[in-house]
Amino acid sequence: MKVLYLINYAGNAGTEKYVENLIRAYHPSRCRCGLCYNLEGPLVERVKALGAPVHRVEMKNPFDLAAAKQLATLCREEGYDVIHAQYPRENYIALLARRFGSGVRVVFTAHLTIEQPLPWRLLNRVMTPEDHRIVALCPEGAEVLARNGVSKAQTVTIFNGIDASAMPPRDRAPLAEFGIGEDELVLITLARLAPEKGLLFLCDAAARLREKTPLPFRVLLVGEGEQEGELREKIRALSLEDRVILTGFRSDTGRLLAASDLYLNSSGRNEAMSFAILEAMACRLPLVATDVGGNRTLAELEGQSGLIAPYGDAEAYSDALLRLMTDSGLRRSLGETAYQKALGVFSLERSLNRTFDIYA
């Protein structure tokens, strides 16, 4: 069996990690894998390093007929049996390629938990019954898909997974670089610095937290993105320079997680099932997250491993932070539950096996 992973931008975010995990696990022992992309990014070189072929097809829009024809030709010539598409654009192009004789089955993973407008909902009712399977990454995602007109008969829920054994042991040594003392609680988030990640809101919550407690704490914002300048201005405006640290891009995110005390997610719009939260769970970090996408599932399914607060409510979010900061027993309890869930219900092996069953 040969599986082609179709993605518009082969970048460095959670979707790319999802694709890389699948190729790394399957190729070439369980099936032959390939990557097809439009915009080049770090994922291309990582897939090449795994020994899998890469192809480029320009995909201008969801109804790019030239792209669909080129994809159909590629599948016939290379003998692909399955296209695994990662977003609506890629899914529609893959389905159109079937009409041009690609001869493949199409699997579509929905990485977004966004309500689509009426034209998309109508198109989904026509197009998605042709998908072999549609993968929702969380129950909340499956509900959004149904409201978006996506075929329920084809939809299955498969959680993202994490290899907990691959995460480093707890060690505060990396914090010395930032001048963080042993008595300071470290609150960390890994996120692209973009509006949908809610980091301006997180700064507001940090300012409220500072007013509520004399306990020393630092917030590490780990990542890069277009909102960096705006975030720096927000930090200055709230006089948070001594509390919030923008680390920029880091290749040692696992070590930073293992050095921290709490994991934060402040997303305001879309968060299907965050790989960063899963990595934090594997490091025994309790979670404080907004009630968006799959965050509640991660925090509450099969045991509580975190606290949930409404997006935009800095008072409620800072209260949740304060509760965990002042209760070390609760932090340990939630962190241990998080780790056990990472080993079980959110294990990478479980996710990989269920996805491969769809291909088979």
Taking only the tens place, the pLDDT of each residue in 285-303 is: 999 999 988 899 999 998 9
Tell me the whole-structure pTM to 2 decimals. 0.89
pLDDT tens digits, residue range 70-91?
Answer: 999 999 999 999 999 999 999 9
The structure tokens 């696992």 sit at 254
Mean pLDDT to the nearest integer, 150-178: 92
Which of 231, 31, 142 lies closest to 219 in space, CA to CA? Answer: 231
Angle at 316 between CA 314 and CA 317, to 5 degrees: 60
Confidence of residue 176 (pLDDT cuts 50, 70, 90): very high
The structure tokens 């480029």 sit at 56
Q: In what order do the strands lie in the sheet with 54-56?
A: 54-56, 32-39, 2-9, 82-85, 105-110, 133-136, 155-157
Mean pLDDT to the nearest integer, 154-173: 92
CA torsion through residues 67, 352, 339, 184, sign: negative
Angle at 341 between CA 133 and CA 107, to 5 degrees: 10
pLDDT tens digits, residue range 100-123?
Answer: 999 999 999 999 888 899 999 999
Residue 58 has pLDDT above 90, yes or no: yes
pLDDT tens digits, residue range 17-28?
Answer: 999 999 999 999
pLDDT at 59: 97
The CATH class of 164-343 is alpha beta
Identify the CATH number of the domain defined by range 2-159+347-359. Answer: 3.40.50.2000
Domain ranges of the chain: 2-159+347-359, 164-343
How many other CB atoms sit within 10 Å of the CB of residue 350?
15
How many other CB atoms sit within 10 Å of the CB of residue 17?
17
